[in-house]
Structure 1
Amino acid sequence: METITLTNIFLLAGAALMVVGVFSSLIASRFGAPLLLVFLVIGMLAGEDGPGQIHFSDYRATYLVGSAALAIILFDGGLRTRLSSFRGTLAPAVLLSTAGVLVTAGLVGIVAYFLLGLPPLEALLVGSVVASTDAAAVFFLLKAGGLQLRKRVGAVLEIESATNDPVAIFLSVVLVGLIAAGEHYPGWDSLRALAQQAVLGAAVGVAGGLGLAALLNRFDLPSGLHPLLAIGAAIVIFGLAAVADGSGFLAVYLAGLVLGNRPVRAIASIVSFHDAATWLCQLVMFVMLGLLVTPSKVIEYAPPALGIAVFLIVVGRPVAVWLCLSPFGFKPEEKAYVSWVGLRGAVSIFLATIPTLAGVPSAEVYFNVAFTVVLVSLIVQGWSLTYAARRFGVALPEPLREARRFEIDLPGQLDYELVAYPVASGSPVLSHGTLPNWARMLIVVRDGAILSAEQAGLPQNGDYAYLLAPPERVRRLDRLFVAGDERPDVELATAFPFRGEIVLGAISDLYGLPVEPHERDLTIADLFAERFDERPSIGNRVHIGAATLVVRAVEDERVTLAGLVLDDEDETRDKSILTGAAIARLLGPRRTARERARRRG
């Protein structure tokens, strides 16, 4: 009976901490505090030095739960990452996640050597434990803050934080092994093992992602089981890679990346489920780490640990970022922000438990220093994430807004998705005057009546529109149904501007876009006049293959300025190609079709 009673008390305490953590999000959002910091503080308050007086020191359980939680969080991060974001950012992000981690670990190790008085190998272990940015913290806090960063900056941060954990984990494990064996320096075997971890992890991750996508599409599972299969498979992929001496964290991220970029049945329910699962993992992991720490012991190491934390934020991380990103033409403000978002989180505390599990002498040093560094990082960097983005000018002017999309699974159909949107006031679709040629509207619910597309015409405010669209273009369709106001679309912040007198043929040749032969000599102004009955207005759109021309300025019922928006999957060119002959051709004087007709007459 005593065992049953203790079990019930444990369940009650765990559930109560979860409920408190959920409601604490209201307080955190009110004061702008990082929610992960709140979860950590709740664990500390419930711990042995806090009012809760819960004595928890099970490092094995922490390692087990932390591994599973990090695997799920990384899988979710990969699931939400578009492959298009890798273009132009993969090389700098990978360099930052490998060489950057080594540089950071080395610099912090030097400081730890002097501040903590540790031997060189132990000091380097301190640097390795806190060297990697935390993918969970970066993904979570950027999403929670509603930030929309410049595409290049956001992609580098996400890719780096998701891929640098294997390097830090491997470095920490190797150093722990060397210290336990009485070695003094790593050898070539260590480098070979690092390459093995990366190759095996990548292979298992890609194969696992492809296999999971095939399973989801092959079997007609009951509703609700698709997300469970996905999350179970993610843990299996993590475990397989780890057992094979590969990087489980890299494998599970790549599996999510592969799955999220393929046409998969019930992907909407999978993503929605993982949203809740990620919250749960963050809450459980940080509360557990808060329980594990003993504040009275942390205070003993506070002075040197604070020195290490300040050095890491002010010197260590910025030096690594500047060295790794400078060859790729990043602007100073972009490098400054990437330096600032070097968030440390659960991974560092998680790595600090490994010396304890391995029986390394004075293992409490690593744990308490790592905890202090994470605490300082969450308070200083996590609290200022949004302010720093605006201060360095890397945040787009519009806040991140999302369309309310509802997806209906079509059994046996993977080429198209059936999606529904409420048409709210200010939605771009109300002013564009057209839908993309790859989207087909099926029905519209208007004032309680179900209308066919022919009966309804274009969507109106208050409608519910049901459309068929290719899965890879649904995110682009979302932009048309985002509730907004009279401010310009977020996507126009990255559109290529063209004057109204530019000829379509020049744009077609430059970007490889299909234009009808009889329209090649038309100017942009002529095209919109023809399509919109001589009365174009701001926001009107014309779709040209994989791109869209959007009216940005009109004078005397003639388009004077338009923006060219490329689809995500086709954004392989940048403004740097507009040089030489291309600039001369585009910016040179142009006659309108009417003027040419008058001259021929």
Structure 2
Amino acid sequence: MQSITLVNWILFAGSALLVAGILSSLVAQRFGAPLLLVFLGIGMLIGEDGPGGVAFSDFSMTYLIGSFALAIILFDGGLRTRLSQFEGVLAPSAVLASAGVVFTALIVSVLAMPLLNLSFPEALLIGAMIAPTDAAAVFFLLRSGGLHLHRRVGATLEVESGTNDPVAVLLTIVLVEYLADAGGETGIFIIGTLIWHGVIGGLLGLAGGYLLVWLLNRVSLPAGLHPLLAVACAVSIFALAQVAHSSGFLAVYIAGLVVGNRRVRAFASITDFHDAATWLVQILMFVVLGLLVTPSNLLTVIAPGVIVALFLMIVARPIAVFLSLQPFRFSVNERLFVSWVGLRGAVSIFLAAIPTLAGLPNGDLYFNIAFIVVVISLIVQGWTLTPLARRLGLALPQTRPDVSRVEIDLPGQQEHEMVGYYIEEGAAVVLSPGASPRWARPVFVVRDDRILEPAMAGGLKPGDYAYFLAPPERVRELDRIFTVSADTGEHANFPLRSGVQLGVLSDLYGLDVEEELRDRTVAEHFDTEVDDEPAPGDKLSLGPAMLVVRTVKDGRVNEAELELATGSADEPPVEPDRFDRLLRKARTGLHKLEAKLFNRR
């Protein structure tokens, strides 16, 4: 009976932890903080130094759970990365994810050798374990708390964080194999191993991704099983690559990229399922990692751990970023922000468990240093990302709040699915009747308990329920025209043509525009800075003013307006006297602008 009671208590504790994890997502979005640290603390409380008193030192089980969790997280990262995001950021992201990781590891090793009394390969191993940014932490924090970044910066960070884990894992495993063999392997062997891991892992990822796309589109499954098939195949691709002594982490990320950029059946349900799956496996991984650490052992290395963490955040990561991005014309503010978004997470702690699993000396030292670095990084950097982005002028206003959407998968084909929306007062689709994109086909409208064909319904009205056929991969784009702006400040709006250069606006209205942006037109500015296609209501800051999309034609901004505001829900207020001054200047400048454009024709 005692064993049955114990099982029941375990079930209760596990389910309670699951409920707490689901509810914690609401708190995390409210405060923009990485609350997964709470679950790290829960694991420590359950552990041998906490009230739970559970002695857990199974590194093999930790590696198994960590591999499973990271396979799902990296697959999800690839699933959500559009290849269109790579345009203009592929080169800088690739350099950050490869050379940036190596630079960071080398710089950290310079400090770790004398500080921890380690040889160069051992110090480099510590650098390799804490060099990668954590994809899960970066994805979550960049998408929570209302933080929206300029497209180039945001896309660079997301692509880098999703692709640098495989590089760090490769470097860590190769160094562990080198140290386990007492330095018997040659440099040529190490380079060959890296190439093998990368090439074979990449090929297996491509093959596995296309096979999964074929399965999803060709095999008839009961409703709800498509997400489970995707998860099972992702873990299988990861495991197969690892069995082939290649990079399973790179393979599963590439597989996610393939699936995320192809038309597949039930794509919306797959991504929604992965929202929950990635959150839950992170909770599981953090609890296990917290259970594995022994707080009393941390006391002996707390001082050097803090020094390494601060050195990583203030010296190593910034130097690596500035060196890596130097050829790509990133501004100083952009490089400073990319330097600070070097969040470390469960990946680093997971990698730190590998030396112990391989039987290397100093295994506890690696694990404890990595643990301290991760905790400090998540606390210090995690809570300061949003304020720093706004201070550096890289944050965009929140113009796309969450919208209620109903999704209906259509069996037998994968090119479209049916989505339904409730039409609220102030939605972009009501304010701009021509805002609906051509690729979204209206099906019917529910109004006053009646089902109407689109032609009979006419324009959409508040209180309607509208249903559309849309490509699954573009459903999130459609969300934007059904959102309601949260701005509450006083505004003065002036219409603009999309071909106006930003430099002309700067000269006429006294706006602060960077020199490299002066020749860019309004339409080109939105093409460059906004993810996917621009939509009515999208905004970009231009000094104290805002550029706002009015209409879109063929995927490009057709008409825009210049908005001057005394204050809004997302932006700090402009001083009243400056607002009046800008308003007068805008009214007179509008005529000059039209005259200048007329003379150019």
Quickly name the TM-score band, shorter chain normalised: 0.7 to 0.9
1:169 maps to amino acid: V
Instruction: Name stretches of at least 5 consecutive residues in structure 1 with no aligned partner.
Output: 512-537, 555-585, 593-601
Q: Among residues 561, 574, 589, which one is paired with 2:598 in the alignment?
A: 589
> For structure 2, which runs of at least 5 residues remain unmatched after alignment?
505-519, 525-547, 564-594
Of stretches 339-348 and 199-208 in structure 1, the one that deviates more from structure 2 is: 199-208
Confirm or deny that 1:214 pairs with 2:214: yes
Which one has the largest radius of gyration? 1
Say which is worse superposed, 337-346 or 391-400, in terms of deviation. Answer: 391-400
- How many angstroms apart in 2 are the aligned matches of 1:339 and 1:540? 35
d(CA) in 1 for partners of 2:293, 2:424: 49
d(CA) in 1 for partners of 2:24 and 2:479?
Answer: 31
Hey, what does 2:152 align to over in structure 1?
A: 152
Distance (whole Å) between structure 2 residues aligned to residue 90 and residue 496 of structure 1: 31
- Note the alpha carbon deviations across 1:265-305, whole angstroms, 9 max, x for none: 11111111111111101111111111111111011101111
Report the counterpart of residue 84 of structure 1 in structure 2.
Answer: 84
Contact 1:147 1:399 in 2 (8 A): no
SS in 2 for 1:61: helix
Q: Secondary structure at the match of 1:450?
A: strand
For 1:477 and 1:26, locate their aligned partners in 2 and report how far apart those are by CA, in whole Å.
Answer: 24
Q: 1:547 maps to what in 2?
A: 556
* Alignment match, 1:50: 50
Q: Percent identity?
A: 55
> Partners of 1:25 and 1:50 in 2: how far apart?
25
Letter in 2 for 1:109: S
**Normalising to structure 2: TM-score of the pair?**
0.82
Distance in 1 of aligned mates of 2:550 and 2:377: 46
Q: Determine if contact 1:205/1:254 at 8 Å carries over to the other structure.
A: yes
How far did residue 444 of structure 1 move?
A: 0.5
**Amino acid across the alignment from 1:352:** A
Deviates further, 41-50 or 102-111:
41-50
| Partner SS for 1:164 | helix
Are the structure 2 counterparts of residues 278 and 146 from structure 1 closer, same or farther at C-alpha, using a change threshold of 3 Å?
farther
Q: Give the AA of the match of 1:201.
A: G
Q: Distance in 1 between matches of 2:28 and 2:138?
A: 17
**Pairing 1:302–2:302 present:** yes
Judged with a 3 Å threshold, the aligned counterparts in structure 2 of structure 1 residues 186 and 484 are, in CA distance, closer, same or farther, namely farther
Matched pairs, number: 525
Q: 1:400 to 1:382 in 2, by over 3 A?
A: farther
Q: Contact conserved, 2:416 with 2:469, CA < 8 A, in 1? A: yes
Distance 2:364 2:337 in 1: 33
C-alpha displacement of 1:320: 0.4
- 2:202 alignment counterpart: 202
What CA distance in whole angstroms lies between the structure 2 residues aligned with 1:156 and 1:411?
A: 36
| Distance in 1 of aligned mates of 2:486 and 2:27 | 29
Residues 8-407 of structure 1: pairs in structure 2 closer than 5 A: 8-25=8-25, 32-183=32-183, 187-398=187-398, 400-407=400-407
Name 1:568's counterpart in structure 2. none
Please, what is the CA RMSD of the aligned residues? 2.9
Specify whether residues 496 and 342 from structure 1 end up closer, same or farther in structure 2 by C-alpha distance, changes over 3 A only.
Answer: farther
**Match of residue 467 from structure 2:** 466
CA distance in 2, matches of 1:88, 1:551: 24
Q: C-alpha deviations, 1:199-219, integer Å up to 9, x for none?
A: 111111122111111111101
User: What SS does the aligned partner of 2:411 have?
Assistant: coil
Q: Aligned residue for 1:436?
A: 437
- Could you tell me which amino acid in structure 2 is paired with residue 550 of structure 1? E
Counterpart AA for 1:452: E
* Aligned-partner Cα distance in 1 for 2:471–2:120: 56
Give the distance between the partners of 2:266 and 2:29, measured in 1 at CA.
32
Per-residue deviation, residues 78-104 of structure 1 (Å, max 9, x unmatched): 111111110010111111111111111
Cα distance in 2 for residues equivalent to 1:362 and 1:451: 71
CA shift for structure 1 position 138: 1.1
Deviation at 1:405, TM superposition (A): 2.6
In structure 2, what residue type is equivalent to 1:214? Answer: W
Q: Secondary structure at the match of 1:272?
A: helix
Q: Deviations over 1:25-60 (max 9, x none)?
A: 566566553212122112112222122222211111
Q: Is the Cα contact below 8 Å between 1:426 and 1:485 reproduced in 2?
A: no
| Equivalent residue number for residue 458 of structure 2 | 457
- Could you tell me how far apart the structure 1 residues matched to 2:239 and 2:312 are? 32
Corresponding position of 1:524: none
List per-residue Cα deviations over 1:474-520 (Å, max 9, x = no partner).
333222112324679xxx9xx983359x9xxxx99x99xxxxxxxxx
Q: Distance in 2 between matches of 1:14 and 1:408?
A: 32
* Contact 1:418/1:467, CA 8 A, preserved across alignment: yes
User: Using a 3 Å threshold, how does the CA distance of structure 1 residues 399 and 46 change in structure 2: closer, same or farther?
Assistant: farther
Q: Which amino acid aligns with 1:541?
A: T
Whether the 8 Å contact between 2:498 and 2:557 is mirrored in structure 1 is no
CA distance in structure 2 between the partners assigned to 1:153 and 1:300 by the alignment: 39
In 2 relative to 1, CA 28–76 (structure 1 residues): closer, same or farther, beyond 3 Å?
Answer: closer
> How far is the alpha carbon of 1:398 from its aligned partner?
2.3
* 1:234 shift after superposition: 0.5
Distance 2:284 2:269 in 1: 23
